[in-house]
Homo-oligomer: A and B are copies of this chain.
Amino acid sequence: MRFFSDNAAAVCPEVFAALAKVNTLDTAYDGDRWSAALDDRFSALFETDVRALWVTTGTAANALALAALCPPYGGVICHREAHINNDEAGAPEFYTHGAKLLLGQGDGAKLAPETVKTIVAGIRKDVHQVQPHALSITNATEYGCVYTPDEVAALGRVARAHGLGLHMDGARFANAVAHLGCTPADLTWRAGVDVLSFGFVKNGGLSAEALVFFRPDLAEATRVRRKRAGHLLSKGRYLAAQILAMLDDDLWLRNARAANAGARLLAEAAGDRLVYPVEANEVFLRVSAQEAASLRALGFDFYDWGVGEARLVTSWDQSEADIRPLAEAIAAL
């Protein structure tokens, strides 16, 4: 059984079925009715007027969001461990035309309001230093930790106070919402978020993520940037259909709950081996090289994380029966 990444999981059947349903001649690019429906569907979900664009990857979503919030000569405050800093090959720098990521620290890849304030305070207000224009947080974080609505709101206030746009990388937004039981609105715009990268691919989709703008004015230039980046697929209806299928009957939440439940099962078995609280679908475990090898010998695959740690990621399609053997193996270490 593989616990490398939710990226590796299969596509869920409802999404697949949705592809078949749109497989007829229709208007190209995003001129089809499914693409056109996204604004309304996400506006309903978020209880406010939003603009929603499909893109194929979280990297593209994040980079487009940052380009909408930060000029080429500006800076984006984020966590040192943020995906935008560590795992996107410089996509933010490419899309923003060279904006600088201004890095902070914090446990579980979470940024505290004080950390953001300190970064801002450390920058002279002159033309020699790159001035911050945006703040980007990941929810759930790269370490499977979750910001609560209150925590986001506290960051949102700092952002507003310093004129920073607020972006949320929600590659695992569904897992965060599923964990918190809050509304999507409470975790985003009501807490000050301007743009959300809303991930679906890790959660059962095939190739569609949504970029959700809570400030509709930011969306128009982004439509142009999306095309300019080669991300306006000519058969866009196959992307829109995936997202709509994920929204139908809260499939996105059900899938995230399933993945989270799997992680909790592992967390319970792991006890004080846990490096971070398990709040989404990622489990970071303290294990010796020998212990890791013994788990692998039993057929469980996962990534080592630095020295002495392992990362286990559960997916929407892993049942309790799939996961329990690993939980037992961990408990038995």
Contacts and interface: CB of A to CB of B under 8 A. Distances in A.
Nearest to A234: B7
B89 A94 contact: no
Contacts of A99: 90, 93
A224 B73 contact: yes
Given A8-B26, A10-B24, A25-B10, A57 B90 contact: no
Nearest to A130: B90
Contacts of A207: 56, 207, 233, 235, 238-239
A230 interface: yes
Contacts of A4: 27-28
Contacts of A16: 19-20, 23
B8 A73 contact: no
Contact of A227 (B56, B86, B88, B95): B88
Interface string A50-66: 00000111111111100
A271 to B, nearest CB: 28
A11 B238 CA distance: 10
Contact of A57 (B61, B130, B233): B233
Interface in A94-110: 94-101
A91 B58 CA distance: 20
Given A90-B98, A90-B99, A227-B89, A232 B11 contact: no
A37 to B, nearest CB: 18
B202 A234 contact: yes
A43 interface: no
A104 to B, nearest CB: 13
Interface in A174-217: 201-202, 206-207
A127 B230 contact: no
A229 interface: yes
Nearest to A318: B25
Nearest to A239: B207
A231 B72 contact: no
A277 interface: no
A63 B229 CA distance: 9
A148 interface: no
Contact of A88 (B101, B128, B317): B128
A108 B11 CA distance: 43
Contacts of A113: none
A273 interface: no
B127 A224 contact: yes
Given A57-B230, A72-B72, A89-B128, 18 more contacts: A4-B27, A4-B28, A7-B235, A19-B19, A56-B56, A57-B231, A57-B233, A57-B234, A72-B90, A73-B224, A89-B127, A89-B228, A93-B99, A93-B100, A94-B228, A127-B232, A206-B235, A207-B207
